Structure 1
Amino acid sequence: MLKTFIGGIAVGLANIIPGVSGGTMMVVLGMFNKVMNSIDGLFSRHNKNRLEDFKFLFVLGIGAVLGLVVFAKVLEICFANYPTQTMFCFVGMVAFSIPSLVKTEMKDDRFSPIPFAVGCAIIFGLMFLAPENKELVLTTFPDIDPVYLITMVFLGLIAGGAMFMPGVSGSMILLIIGKYYLFKSLLANVTSFQMDIILPLGFMAVGIILGIILCGKLLKFLLANYHGMTINFILGLVVASSIVLIPISANYDVFTIVTSALALLLGGVIVLLLEKLA
């Protein structure tokens, strides 16, 4: 259970980073299939291991929530002081996860250029639609009303489904639709236990759970019936994600180049350590 808890923290960390996929992190940790099977098992009529599936998902979920909340605060500090280096660390994490994806999921599948290209095109398209960077810290939040809370459920539904799919970042989807900074700032301030923070996050959590369940069932079906095409599509998502995260518009001097290279290697080392843990 300790490995599951630590894995959940890693998945939570990934999900708060735009462009880094929680699903990819599950692949790296060797937990992807188990998570899918456990979600499916919770709703299977004749599953004798339902309690074990629930325990596994519960521990994973607690770790993910902890990772989300803690790293939301850390992320504010990193972006405020070392934005370029932080992004290169994320690039390293995504890029170094590609060999693990190929090794674990493409053992008997050939490379298919069309689904791979479609996966790349989706990520490049999402990045093209993404708005310009804004302030990462919000100090005021919307007033609570039914429309706002229902909107948070739908945001959770979208983000939850994206979080579960390898290569697709739920945070990037929220960034594209202009809600990432709200989500991250709500998480960063959750320990204040203010109602205008706790209540919206609670409604979003409901949507996230529904999104994970629906996406989990869809992916299970696709992998069971179209495994090769699905994995090549996911590979395209991951490869493109490692490219679009590179901060092209940053001001590069000698210090920035050296520290960014070290940060990229650090991201790779983190992934390799997570693989060892798995």
Structure 2
Amino acid sequence: MIMNFIRGFCMALADSVPGVSGGTIAFLLGFYDKFIDSLDHIMGKDKKKRKEAILFLCKIAGGWIIGMAGSVLVLASLFEKHIYQISSMFLGLILFSIPLIISEEKKTIKGNYRHLFFLVIGVALVVVISCLNPVAGEGISVDAGSLNIGLGAYVFIAGMIAICAMVLPGISGSTILLVFGLYIPIITSLKEILHLNMEYLPVLIIFGLGVLTGIALVIRAIKTSLKKYRSQMIYLIIGMMIGSLYAIKVGPTTLEAPRDQLTLSTFSIVFFIIGAILVLGLQKLQMVGEEK
């Protein structure tokens, strides 16, 4: 219970900020395959597997909800004020985790170097998404008074695409929302709901339905690909994680009040090292999880 709570909490912290994916954290913590399988089993016909999947995902969801609430209420302002330190930490986290993943998947990728093309695709995919011009500032108004059929459809589609990004290591769902101009509006809506302002509830319901639809459409494809084409998928995932280094570098430009990209002068070696240390901590958590 505690282990899965921590897993969900870490995923939420990643999902709440542009540049890092919750799927990346799931991969680092060694439960990505189980996470994808559980999402798939919920929609399956096997009642036993569905029950086990629901129990597992409920434990993950508990930590995720607490982590997301904390991010929305507290950490969002911290990210704004210390974006360069946080970006440096994420660079260390991702950069030092890539060799560990390569080591863990050594048997899968060894001898399959012809699949390196998928690594290139992964890098390019994340870089292209990051280069799209996100909407800065207050963005789109999504309260009940401004909600209409067109905006509802737009939010629904954004939710579908964002969740697809969130479950894939390397691509940040928050970055996708920035591209759609909905990151600040959705975060603001969550804040308002946590403060019991129900005026923003309809748009979050529509967004949630888009998320569920996206899960239903993409999870089976991811599971099948990991099973039948694991070597290609691992190369693709590693490529997306490499590409996320660029996404983190340009992350400060996507804030509500845009700032300059991360440079050598704003880079923090201390927080970079903290990120590296966190990788060791995540690996330790993974080992504890495997022992249990």
Specify if TM > 0.5. Answer: yes
**Mapped partners of 1:216, 1:41: distance in 2:** 10
Structure 2 residue matching 1:167: 3-state secondary structure? coil
User: How much has 1:108 moved relative to structure 2?
Assistant: 2.5
Q: Which amino acid aligns with 1:186?
A: S
User: How much has 1:107 moved relative to structure 2?
Assistant: 2.7
> What is the match of residue 71 of structure 1?
71
Deviates more, 1:140-149 or 1:83-92: 140-149
Structure 2 residue matching 1:44: 3-state secondary structure? coil
Q: Is the 8 A contact 2:96 2:279 kept in 1?
A: yes
**Mapped partners of 2:275, 2:192: distance in 1:** 26
Q: Which amino acid aligns with 1:261?
A: I
Distance 1:240 1:252, change over 3 A: closer
The RMSD of aligned alpha carbons is 2.4
Residue correspondence of structure 1 range 27-42 to structure 2 within 5 A: 27-42=27-42
> What is the match of residue 261 of structure 1?
269
Distance 1:31 1:145, change over 3 A: same
Deviates more, 1:200-209 or 1:233-242: 200-209
User: How much has 1:219 moved relative to structure 2?
Assistant: 0.7
Distance 1:122 1:252, change over 3 A: closer
User: How much has 1:250 moved relative to structure 2?
Assistant: 4.9
**Mapped partners of 1:217, 1:194: distance in 2:** 36
User: How much has 1:93 moved relative to structure 2?
Assistant: 2.4
Q: Is the 8 A contact 2:226 2:233 kept in 1?
A: yes
Q: Is the 8 A contact 2:7 2:63 kept in 1?
A: yes
Distance 1:43 1:138, change over 3 A: closer
**Mapped partners of 2:52, 2:17: distance in 1:** 30
Deviates more, 1:114-123 or 1:266-275: 266-275
**Mapped partners of 1:268, 1:74: distance in 2:** 24
Cα deviations by residue, 1:243-264 (Å, 9 ceiling, x for unpaired): 33125735765xx44xx11112
> What is the match of residue 121 of structure 1?
124
Distance 1:192 1:29, change over 3 A: same
Percent identity (aligned) = 29
User: How much has 1:268 moved relative to structure 2?
Assistant: 2.4
User: How much has 1:159 moved relative to structure 2?
Assistant: 0.8
Residue correspondence of structure 1 range 178-189 to structure 2 within 5 A: 178-189=181-192
Q: Which amino acid aligns with 2:209?
A: V
**Mapped partners of 1:175, 1:139: distance in 2:** 11
Distance 1:103 1:213, change over 3 A: farther
Structure 1 residue matching 2:170: 3-state secondary structure? coil
Deviates more, 1:62-71 or 1:233-242: 62-71
User: How much has 1:233 moved relative to structure 2?
Assistant: 1.1
**Mapped partners of 2:46, 2:223: distance in 1:** 18
Structure 2 residue runs without a partner (length 5+): 251-259, 287-292
> What is the match of residue 203 of structure 2?
200
User: How much has 1:47 moved relative to structure 2?
Assistant: 4.6
Residue correspondence of structure 1 range 236-275 to structure 2 within 5 A: 236-247=239-250, 249-250=261-262, 256-257=266-267, 260-275=268-283
Residue correspondence of structure 1 range 92-107 to structure 2 within 5 A: 92-107=92-107
Q: Is the 8 A contact 2:90 2:272 kept in 1?
A: yes
> What is the match of residue 276 of structure 1?
284
Q: Is the 8 A contact 1:106 1:231 kept in 2?
A: no
> What is the match of residue 190 of structure 1?
193
Q: Which amino acid aligns with 2:121?
A: V
Residue correspondence of structure 1 range 216-231 to structure 2 within 5 A: 216-231=219-234
Q: Is the 8 A contact 1:141 1:196 kept in 2?
A: no
Q: Which amino acid aligns with 1:266?
A: I
Q: TM-score, normalized by length of structure 1?
A: 0.88
Distance 1:218 1:15, change over 3 A: same
Q: Is the 8 A contact 2:29 2:282 kept in 1?
A: yes
Q: Is the 8 A contact 1:91 1:245 kept in 2?
A: yes
User: How much has 1:162 moved relative to structure 2?
Assistant: 0.9
**Mapped partners of 2:153, 2:170: distance in 1:** 27
**Mapped partners of 1:43, 1:37: distance in 2:** 10
Structure 1 residue runs without a partner (length 5+): none
Q: Is the 8 A contact 2:142 2:203 kept in 1?
A: no
Out of 176, 179, 188, the residue aligned to residue 176 of structure 1 is: 179
